[in-house]
Amino acid sequence: MARRLSLARTQPRRRVAPAAAPAPWWRDAVVYQVYLRSFADSDGDGIGDLRGLRQRLPYLSWLGVDAVWINPHYPSGGADGGYDVVDYRAVDPEYGDVSDLEALVDDARRLGLRVVLDVVPNHTSDQHPWFQAALADPDSPEAARYHFAPASAEPPNNWQSLFGGPAWSRTPDGRWYLHLFAPEQPDLNWRDPVVAEDFERTLRFWLDRGVSGFRVDVAYGLYKDAGLRDNPGAYSPTLFGHGPEQAMTWNQPEVHGVWRRWRSICDEYPDTMLVGEVCLADLEQVALYSRPDELHQSLSFRLLKSPWAVAPFAEAISSALDAYGRVGAPVSWVLGNHDKERQVTRFGGGELGTARARAAALLTLALPGSAYLYAGDELGLPQAHVPDEAKQDPIFHRSGGARAGRDGCRVPMPWNPTEGVGFSPDGAAEPWLPIPADWSRYAVSVQTGQGGSTLTLHRRALALRKAHPAFASGSATVTTRGDVLTIRSVDGGEAVRCVVNMGSETVLAGCPGSVLLASTAAVRRSGGTVALPPDSAVWVLED
Ligand code: GLC
């Protein structure tokens, strides 16, 4: 007999009374993540840009997302895909200029879309004027804005860079400086008040140009242990996130003060929001970043690292609902992003991986809270093979090739089945990362209007999510039964279910009501039951 494993994890109801003020847009928004360099190239240099994105905004409106988050657009040293910023209040000429960004924001607003920027407060580029001044003069005020240590035989402590190797490198004059990522990304010293002041200017600079908020890079970083003490253990990329073993480098209590201050700035600009990247293993700690006076959201990465099986998925969902629910924040679900292998590949590749990725998409979009959709995932793109000589990611290079790096999920978007897949205007430009030969079959124009395509599935799911608020803003219950995971959500008089079969046999799930959407045409309804083939999901509206 089937056993009920875990039951009843609920998230507080958002709509308390009909007279309550409408919930802010970000609580249940679907935010589409644009890797700017790879989205659309308007000027034929093989690099995506703001005008290219602007031209494609009607696609995003047609798809049905609510907002666009753009990966860093700033002038950059180019060492880490734009996350090494040289000037926080400018646009890299490769991508356009500030007026292009303003035009993007205006066009987006006309289409009912919001624009969210990426801000990178943990570190700058080594080309940033502050770091250059600090290199030139150890006694300069700029030197106090970074972590320098005097010349000595050994680095000041055992901290490791997340990209491999020690977190300390030497300056030409023999001093040590801290970089928790690449050596070209020196960490800022947030104990210097000038650093905080400068970022507040940056926030206002972009908010004054009409953006709807920021995705905050490495929001669990910024402050370091004041005594720079050794970490108790080593970082492992296989963990859900950082924990006590890295207690000296991450999650220092002082950082919450920064988010309170940033929140108060955003409060001056209606309808803006902050969403933090908080890679901590303990979800209770992650949730603390989205307390009511801090960041509006903190991204929940559990699904990104969960293998395809009921127990880890149920645990990822239930624990996030519990932890975020306790601070009154919506969960911000992430199934894919620019740092992780595409889910088609992660879940097994080929038809198997595609079936699972489609089912996982329905599951994610049925969860209460907001969802982050990474560009290309709506097309079912697999991880692209990028030859080693074309790879750009510092993770690949700093690990001596031991870690594959992130280039394979950053390959340009296929728009149509022409040469160059419509990424650049005439198809002749050499794209900044090579596009696989068979990429045309995933192209937007190929999948548009095709009943069974992954693009159509996403578009339908997004429309249904809007039409049935119970999905995104209901009170959810997570149930497991054998290989079947069910999320049942209730909002007002409406109840909806997402049922996922994560096993290898067809299962019959009892769920009365009408089928709204299925991840495969092989899902069959008969009376009060639904036959779900392996690796499939269905959305049901209860009678
Ligand atoms: C975040 C970004 C990642 C970047 C790192 C350093 O994790 O998502 O792409 O490499 O921060 O800025």
- If you take atom 3 of ligand 1, which residue's CA is the nearest one? 339
Q: How far is the centre of ligand 1, averaged over its atoms, from the C-alpha of 81 (Å)?
A: 9
User: What is the rounded distance in angstroms from the CA atom of residue 187 to the CA atom of residue 182?
Assistant: 10
Reply yes or no on whether 268 is catalytic.
yes
Q: What is the pLDDT of residue 19?
A: 61
Q: Note the pLDDT of residue 66.
A: 98
Q: What tokens were used for 108?
A: 């987006």
The residues facing 530 across adjacent strands are 509, 525
C-alpha 132 – ligand 1 centre gap (Å): 22
Q: For position 12, what pLDDT does the model report?
A: 41
- Contacts with 379 (C-beta within 8 Å, 6 or more apart), sequence order: 413, 414, 442, 443, 444, 447, 454, 455
Q: Are 58 and 111 in contact (CB under 8 A)?
A: yes
Q: Which atom of ligand 1 is nearest to the CA of 395?
A: 10
pLDDT value for 16: 46
Structure confidence at residue 427 (pLDDT): 81
Q: Which of 254, 267, 268, 505 is catalytic?
A: 268
Phi, psi of 318 (to 5 degrees): -65, -45
**Which residues have any ligand 1 atom within 6 Å of their CB?**
80-81, 83, 120, 181, 217-218, 277, 338-339
Tell how far the Cα of 188 is from the centroid of ligand 1, in angstroms: 15
Which residue shows structure tokens 């624990």? Answer: 319
**Ligand 1, from 35, 37, 80: best to mutate by most atoms within 8 Å of Cβ?**
80
CA of 245 to the centre of ligand 1 (A): 20
Q: Which atom of ligand 1 is nearest to the CA of 339?
A: 9
Q: Which amino acid is at 399?
A: S
For domain 351-382+437-542, give the CATH superfamily.
Golgi alpha-mannosidase II (2.60.40.1180)
Q: Evaluate whether 372 touches 333 at the Cβ level (below 8 Å).
A: yes
Q: Which mutation among 218, 340, 341, 407 tests ligand 1's pocket best, with the greatest number of atoms within 8 A of CB?
A: 218
Q: Got the DSSP string for 485-520? A: EEEEEEETTEEEEEEEE-SSS-EEEE--SEEEEESS
239, two tokens: 């963990």
**What is 129-178's CATH number?**
3.90.400.10
Q: How many angstroms separate the Cα of 429 from the Cα of each of 37, 148, 208, 284, 436?
A: 14, 43, 35, 47, 15
- Residue of 92, 217, 377, 393 marked active site: 217
Closest residue by CA, ligand 1 atom 9: 339
pLDDT of 78 reads: 96
**Closest-lying ligand 1 atom to the alpha carbon of residue 123:** 12
Q: What is the pLDDT along the chain (543 residues), one digit of tens a residue?
A: 333 333 334 444 444 445 677 899 999 999 999 999 999 999 999 999 999 999 999 999 999 999 999 999 999 999 999 999 999 999 999 999 999 999 999 999 999 999 999 999 999 999 999 999 999 999 999 999 999 999 999 999 999 999 989 999 999 999 999 999 999 999 999 999 999 999 999 999 999 999 999 999 999 999 999 999 999 998 777 778 898 899 999 999 999 999 999 999 999 999 999 999 999 999 999 999 999 999 999 999 999 999 999 999 999 999 999 999 999 999 999 999 999 999 999 999 999 999 999 999 999 999 999 999 999 999 999 999 999 999 999 999 989 999 999 999 999 999 999 999 999 998 879 999 999 999 999 999 999 999 999 999 999 999 999 999 999 999 999 999 999 999 999 998 999 999 999 999 999 998 889 999 999 999 998 888 999 999 999 999 998
Q: Letter for the amino acid at 526?
A: S
How many whole angstroms from 182 Cα to the centroid of ligand 1?
Answer: 10
Q: 407: Cβ–Cβ under 8 A, 6 or more apart, which residues?
A: 384, 386, 390, 391, 392, 393, 396, 433
pLDDT of residue 6: 36
Which pLDDT score, from 0 to 100, does residue 18 have?
52
- The answer to whether the CB of 185 falls within 8 A of the CB of 85 is no
Strand residues in 106-256 grouped as ranges (E): 114-119, 148-149, 168-170, 176-178, 213-216
- Contact call for residues 7 and 477 (beta carbons, < 8 A): yes
Q: What are the structure tokens assigned to 319, written together?
A: 């624990």
For residue 217, indicate whether it is catalytic: yes
DSSP string, 288-321: HTTSTTS-SEEEE-HHHH--SSHHHHHHHHHHHH
Q: Are 530 and 501 in contact (CB under 8 A)?
A: no
Pull the structure tokens for residue 281.
């293993």
Question: Whose C-alpha lies nearest to ligand 1, atom 7?
Answer: 218
Domain ranges across the chain? 129-178, 351-382+437-542
181 Cα nearest atom in ligand 1: 6
How does 357-383 read in b/e, with b if 16+ C-beta sit within 10 Å? bbbbbbbbbbbbbbbbbbbbbbbbbbb
Specify the pLDDT at position 511.
Answer: 85
User: N- to C-terminal Cα distance for the chain?
Assistant: 27
pTM for the model stands at 0.95
Q: How far is CA 177 from CA 79, 147, 157, 180, 184, in A?
A: 17, 6, 11, 10, 11
Residue position matching structure tokens 């991204």: 299
Residue minimizing CA distance to atom 6 of ligand 1: 83
Q: How many residues does the chain have?
A: 543
Atom of ligand 1 nearest to the CA of 122: 12
| Ligand 1 atom 12, closest CA | 83
Ligand 1, atom 5, residue with closest C-alpha: 83
Closest atom of ligand 1 relative to the 337 alpha carbon: 8
- CB-based burial of residue 43 (10 Å sphere; 0-12 exposed, 13-18 middle, 19+ buried)? middle
Give the pLDDT score at 176. 98
Whole-number Å distance, alpha carbon 47 to ligand 1 midpoint, is 20
DSSP-derived secondary structure for 396-456:
HHHTTTSS--SGGG-SPPP-SSSGGGGSSSSS-SPPSSPPPTTGGGG-HHHHTT-TT-HHH
Question: How far, rounded to the nearest angstrom, does the alpha carbon of residue 383 sit from its chain's CA centroid?
Answer: 16
Report CA(54)–ligand 1 centroid distance (Å).
Answer: 24
